[in-house]
Amino acid sequence: MAQTSLLKGKRFYCREWVFHKIQHCLQEKTNNLSGVISTPSKQPPLAPGGSTSNPGTLTAGSAKSGSSWGVLLVGGPGSGKTALCTELLWPTSAQGTHRGLHQQSLAFHFCRADDSDTLCVGGFIRGLVAQICRSGLLPGYEEKVRDPAVQNTLQPGECERNPTEAFKRCVLLPLLSVKPPQQALFLLVDSIDEGSQLGEGEQRSSPGSPRTIAELLASHHEFLPPWLLLICSARRQNKAITKLFTASGFPVPAGANPEC
């Protein structure tokens, strides 16, 4: 898992409109935090919308007003999704550093077609738990997942057999029961569509059990705490992913910004 910028010293250009959009969604969530009780941010499904952008452009869709809980970045191969996610986490520009969005990162995951470990649902969950513990952003979280019964669901094998249980017990429930942070945080998953073909051919370990990270998040993102923004990226060619998230209420691409 990358711990530093994947741009490897290259300069990052433009995309200011995407950072503004993410900043806006985070700010809305932060504003809604006052007086919030830590219950899942379940929202009614959003009306579907379509992207009319040209190939090569990147689009970012989110729910409107205070209800936004997810951002889906959509763009073809090479349109700059991974670069953008990288810049969000490890800003290289003075503007990015100044904006400080990276300080609101709770955890991230980069899916890569050439590395099957990054597509593994169990590894994804274990990575999230480790990062949330390390982040120090949520006092009390580590203690909750230290419980041996909770730890057991994370064990290799067990976690792969029942990823839903592991995700609930090690991520959703502890996040919902800790004191909400002062500022909204985000969880970033780049290239969430990688591995979706794998999932189609694979047997489920039990009925309804998610075979991919996308399936896991699509069936649970409505139960994430209201202070957590889910940011995902995917290629527009992958209709299945858009459908998966749209069907369960995830915002769809909401028009391109051709500026940059």
Ligand X SMILES: Nc1ncnc2c1ncn2[C@@H]1O[C@H](COP(=O)(O)OP(=O)(O)O)[C@@H](O)[C@H]1O
What is the smallest separation between the CB atom of 90 and Mg ion, expressed in angstroms? 15
Q: What angle do CA 177, 175, 203 make, to 5 degrees?
A: 125
57 belongs to the binding site for ligand X (CB under 6 A) = no
Cα→Cα distances 180→160, 183, 185, Å: 29, 8, 10
Q: DSSP letters along 145-157, please? A: HHSHHHHHHHSTT
What is the smallest separation between the CB atom of 61 and ligand X, expressed in angstroms? 16
253 belongs to the binding site for ligand X (CB under 6 A) = no
Q: Of these partners, ligand X, Mg ion, none, which one is at the site of residue 80 (CB under 5 to 8 Å by kind)?
A: ligand X
Q: In the stretch 79-118, what mask flags binding to Mg ion with x, by CB under 5 A?
A: --xx------------------------------------
110 belongs to the binding site for ligand X (CB under 6 A) = no
Q: What angle do CA 177, 180, 182 make, to 5 degrees?
A: 170
Question: How would you classify the pairing of strands 70-75 and 58-62?
Answer: antiparallel
238 belongs to the binding site for ligand X (CB under 6 A) = no
CA separation for the pair 103, 88 (Å, rounded): 10
Contacting Mg ion within 163-202 (CB under 5 A):
191
13 belongs to the binding site for ligand X (CB under 6 A) = yes
Q: Are 213 and 160 in contact (CB under 8 A)?
A: no
- DSSP classification of residue 213: H
Q: Are 221 and 208 in contact (CB under 8 A)?
A: no
What is the smallest separation between the CB atom of 45 and ligand X, expressed in angstroms? 27
Choices 78-86, 119-127, 140-148, 246-254; region in contact with ligand X by CB under 6 A: 78-86
53 belongs to the binding site for Mg ion (CB under 5 A) = no
7 belongs to the binding site for ligand X (CB under 6 A) = yes
